[in-house]
């Protein structure tokens, strides 16, 4: 066949080349990625069979591959004169329209074509229309197209796999629940339908129902690793950490190890106060992703919880080599330095936090506590006033300012500030006492607290 075609090109005698043979010749050169020769073969074929819609469609496909979109549309219009019932005509026209940013024309074409085809071809056009809407960023219509596919073919695997994402993305979880419950009524052993139902429940934060649906999906397909993964997340959301660990470990059995899986398992052990196991999984995660600074921070946090401050500092050093000024890392490092009695170092790290996040109270609180512990009362008072200003008057810092005034020997001013603080938010009194416990030995302070509580009781 190729020899006969080459003889045709060279003007030599050759056997007769059928229309179907030209199609195979075009495919041969197209498969070899020889676009120019494929186009030449299409031109020769069309010259010999000028009324062949199939050869014109081959030519249009090649023109689109060569980014000759207007020429492709002209070729397709010629093909339509000879055969308007070939679905490829509409798919190729859609590709050309999209390449030319003619989205509305693509939609109109496909909507017209949908009235002409049935069965698998109609479903193929619906997928094509979904892609057009996706490209056009009309995401609600993408969901609609996939819904139409499932109404015609309820267990279409491609549609079931895609609609799961779009239901969540478009916020149509309730609609997805109704759709998949209907599918499950007729096809109770379809694991994808159960999975999609579960993800829709999860999207609405109905975690118990989601878990039940995931379990049905897993009863049908016990190797459905994504169902285990999502179920693990649902268990975490309702603080069933032991169950979450079991689900996530199942994912590790069924798929390749991932840092996010080990991190999630570590998080569960952390929440269960099993810090050794939490560290084990955080370390596994960090080996898989050594550039993720937060994993070193999480390891440090487990050491800090166990009062292993030196080990915590080493891990924080690793985290801060990647992100030096990260507020959480600096905050924990400051606490470590404070426990080590390295007050000046602690002040530096806490100062980094307030510089990066001036509106966040936690950095200011840590810095002020540190200064008070070191008896740097003048500096503590100054920083407290800065904190009040930066945080738009957080009540906590009025209590702190009162405690610091007492520490500076300014009892009268301290009492006035305490009364003001109690009027703003009496629930924060404990923070005041924690900062300066000895103030409970001050009769005037105790009287003020008792007096204020008495007023509140009335």
221-255: pLDDT as tens digits = 999 999 999 999 999 999 999 999 999 999 999 99
What pLDDT is attached to residue 4? 59
What pLDDT is attached to residue 2? 63
Q: Report the distance separating Cα 215 and Cα 441, nearest Å.
A: 60
Q: For the chain, which ranges sit under pLDDT 50? A: 11-15, 457-458
Q: What is the dihedral of CA 339, 343, 345, 348, to 10 degrees?
A: 110
Q: Are 190 and 155 in contact (CB under 8 A)?
A: yes
| pTM of this structure | 0.83
What pLDDT is attached to residue 457? 45
Which of 350, 325, 341, 266 has its CA nearest to residue 301? Answer: 266
Q: Are 136 and 148 in contact (CB under 8 A)?
A: no
pLDDT in tens, 284-314: 999 999 999 999 999 999 999 999 999 999 9
The tokens of 52 are what?
Answer: 């062949």
């Amino acid at each position: 066949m190729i020899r006969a075609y080459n003889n045709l090109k060279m003007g030599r005698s050759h056997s007769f080349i059928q229309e179907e043979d030209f199609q195979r010749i075009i495919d041969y050169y197209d498969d070899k990625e020889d676009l120019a020769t494929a186009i030449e073969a299409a031109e020769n074929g069309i010259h010999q069979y000028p009324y062949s819609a199939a050869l014109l469609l081959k030519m249009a496909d090649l023109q689109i591959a060569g980014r000759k979109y207007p020429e492709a549309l002209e070729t397709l219009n010629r093909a339509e004169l000879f055969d308007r019932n070939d679905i490829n005509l509409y798919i190729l026209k859609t590709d050309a329209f999209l390449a030319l940013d003619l989205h509305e024309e693509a939609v109109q074409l496909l909507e017209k074509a949908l009235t002409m085809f049935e069965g698998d071809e109609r479903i193929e056009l619906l997928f094509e229309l979904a892609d057009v809407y996706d490209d056009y960023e009309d995401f609600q219509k993408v969901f609609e197209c996939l819904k139409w596919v499932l109404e015609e073919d309820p267990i279409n695997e491609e549609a079931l796999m895609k609609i799961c994402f779009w239901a969540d993305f478009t916020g149509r979880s309730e609609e997805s629940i109704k759709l998949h419950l209907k599918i499950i009524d007729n096809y109770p052993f379809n694991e994808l339908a159960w999975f999609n139902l579960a993800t829709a429940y999860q999207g609405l934060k109905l975690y118990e129902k989601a878990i039940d649906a995931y379990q049905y999906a897993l009863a049908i397909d016990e190797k459905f690793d994504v169902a285990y993964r999502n179920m693990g997340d649902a268990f975490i959301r309702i603080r069933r950490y032991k169950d979450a660990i079991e689900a996530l470990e199942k994912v590790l059995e069924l798929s390749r190890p991932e840092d996010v899986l080990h991190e999630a398992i570590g998080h569960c052990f952390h929440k269960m106060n099993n810090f050794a196991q939490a560290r084990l999984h955080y370390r596994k995660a960090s080996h898989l992703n050594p550039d993720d600074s937060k994993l070193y921070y999480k390891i440090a946090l487990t050491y800090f919880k166990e009062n292993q401050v030196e080990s915590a500092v080493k891990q924080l050093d690793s985290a801060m080599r990647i992100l030096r000024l990260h507020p959480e890392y600096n905050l924990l490092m400051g606490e470590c330095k404070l426990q080590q009695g390295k007050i000046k170092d602690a002040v530096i790290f806490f100062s980094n936090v307030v510089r990066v996040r001036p509106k966040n109270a936690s950095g200011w609180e840590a810095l002020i506590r540190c200064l008070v512990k070191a008896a740097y009362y003048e500096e503590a008072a100054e920083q407290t006033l800065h904190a009040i200003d930066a945080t738009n008057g957080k009540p906590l810092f009025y209590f702190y300012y009162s405690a610091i005034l007492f520490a500076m020997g300014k009892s009268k001013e301290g009492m006035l500030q305490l009364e003001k603080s109690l009027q703003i938010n009496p629930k924060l009194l404990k923070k005041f006492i924690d900062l300066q416990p000895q103030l409970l030995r001050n009769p005037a302070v105790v009287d003020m607290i008792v007096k204020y509580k008495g007023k509140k009781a009335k």
